[in-house]
Amino acid sequence: MSLAQRLGQRRGGNPAAEPAPSAPAPAFVTPAAEPQVVVTTSREVSSIVARLHARIIDRLDLASVSQIPQSELRQRLRTIIDQLVVADRIAVSDGEREAVATSVLDEILGLGPLEPLLKDPAISDILVNGPETIFVEKRGRLTRVDTRFRNDQHLIHTIQRIVARVGRRIDESSPMVDARLPDGSRVNAVVPPLALDGASLSIRRFGSRPLQAQDLIKNGAMSAPMLDYLAAAVAQRCTVLITGGTGAGKTTLLNVLSSFIPPDERIITVEDSAELKMGQPHVVRLESRPANLEGKGEVTIRDLVRNALRMRPDRIVVGECRGGEVLDMLQAMNTGHEGSLSTIHANSTRDAIGRLTTMLGMTGTPLAEETMKTMIARAIHVIVHVARFKDGMRRITGISEITGQMGATIQLHDVFVFERRGVGANGAVVGTHKQLARSCMVGVQNAGEEHA
């Protein structure tokens, strides 16, 4: 008999006439002559939860849930579930009762089906492509998992709970949103009508402990000489721009480099969704805000960068430049705010120059191309490019210095590169980080030199 039939069946007659279950009890008690053990699947537990969820919630005092210790709340849930399965004559095992309690607890206090994935420290990305299709990235590899939502509405409700925590909204009139989880993980969601096959949810996790500089060396993302060079560049107030594609590790590297800012400096961070975790004592964090239902109240990254200049910053750290804020950032760096850090999307250190020029042009500035290049050359000192390889590893593939300008051409001096030698037997990319030349900048000339 199928699970649906067992869940929907109301057994009548004299209970005394029904056969007693043998000991130990099977996973599901069936009216068959011989006990039958059924292995519980996530779909079966979801079916039980779907049937009992509303009635469990009705019996809980949701107003006081947050004040109840989880152990006590879990015991209350067990009691309520026991009462409901007896009333409905649903045959469940102890394991299923516990699974139902955990599922409802995750729904009340967390993000429902996603909670077990969020508790796995090895998972770096959670990608939800509709209620029944969920992928995770684990150690650089994408795999599909058996986790699923009950339906579209269940997924959309979970998304709405995430964005509501940071004062944002998502609905048909505003179907895209960026947000964050309490642990700093980045969230992007798109719902119908823009998402044609159901709501889409992307979670980029940064872990409970931010990666440190030595972690990047251990993971092969950079070499020790590269770390010495970048630490010296930040300490000497060089303006550093980090480039790379989506998911390449720009924000992680930005966090690491910011740790080299002296603790006696005032840092202003500007982000779309606050992700940076600064360890310095004097940090002011600013976050942009979308418009409200009436289309008012929007605060853009550009607005925040302009305001940051009035807050007596020693350093300005912009999570990502993608629009008009580029002009304000470059102007700030050219007027006494050197040593700032930011990221942009680009394919290489050289491509970053073209991207910056294009974004400057999109601001509507009447400046000629050569003048825009002059602004870039005077404002930025070091460009670092990071990339994610097919083996899932993220590495710094190039560090270049801007050394001057000839007409409309900015001169770049490559200091470090990643030389790829091939692919190993396990599919891992094989290569080494190599120093090509000494730094041209005073104060970091000897940093990063290879030791014999």
Domain ranges within the chain, ordered by starting residue: 3-109, 114-204, 213-435
What's the pLDDT at 83? Answer: 82
Distances (CA, A) of 151 to 50, 157, 158, 169, 204: 10, 10, 11, 20, 23
Q: Which CATH class is domain 114-204?
A: alpha beta
pLDDT at 350: 92
| pLDDT given at position 1 | 47
Burial of 12 (0-12, 13-18, 19+ CB in 10 A): exposed
* HEC secondary structure over 397-439: EEEEEEEEEECCEEEEEEEEEEEEEEECCCCCEEEEEEECCCC
What strands, in cross-sheet order, belong to the sheet with 141-145?
Answer: 141-145, 134-138, 123-129, 200-204, 186-190, 176-180
The CATH topology of domain 213-435 is Rossmann fold (3.40.50)
Q: pLDDT at position 44, please?
A: 63
Predicted confidence at residue 6, as pLDDT, reads: 43
Here the tokens at position 92 are 């469940």
- Averages of pLDDT over each 10 residues, the chain, 452 residues: 43 43 39 37 63 71 64 78 78 74 75 89 92 90 90 90 84 87 87 91 80 90 94 94 92 92 94 85 91 81 90 91 86 83 93 92 86 92 93 91 90 93 83 88 65 34
| Phi, psi (degrees; rounded to nearest 5) at 149 | -95, 160
- pLDDT, residue 179, reads 86
| pTM of the predicted structure, to 2 decimals | 0.74
Residue that is written with structure tokens 């095992």 in the block: 93
